[in-house]
Amino acid sequence: MKSYQFPVVITQDEDGMFFAQVPFLPGCHTQAKTLSTLYKRMSEAIELCLEVQKSKQEKIPQNSFVGIQQIEVSV
């Protein structure tokens, strides 16, 4: 069994809810009230997304994580 690592973007809304998404796996996202629950759900979501890609014989992306920057704009 091959192991994969994916960067996950995690944000939190004003109500304290956490949201996570994998930029390199379109449609791979989840949410939770706590980080520990979010991590578990995100692992499950990634596994499901990879199973779908394998069943469709699609290549699993192995992009390199560079970093995240928060950028402020005024409108």
Tell me the per-residue pLDDT of 5-50, one tens digit each, with 9 for 90 and over: 899 999 999 999 999 999 989 899 999 999 999 999 999 999 999 9
CATH architecture under which domain 1-75 falls? 2-Layer Sandwich (3.30)
Provide the residue ranges of all domains of the chain, joining segments of one domain with +: 1-75
Q: What is the per-residue pLDDT across 20-32, written as a single tens digit (0 to 9) for each?
A: 999 989 899 999 9
Structure confidence at residue 58 as a pLDDT band (50, 70, 90):
confident
Cα–Cα distance, 63 to 37 (Å, whole number)? 26
Tokens representing 61?
Answer: 């992306």
Q: Specify the pTM.
A: 0.82
| Separation CA 3–CA 10 (nearest Å) | 21
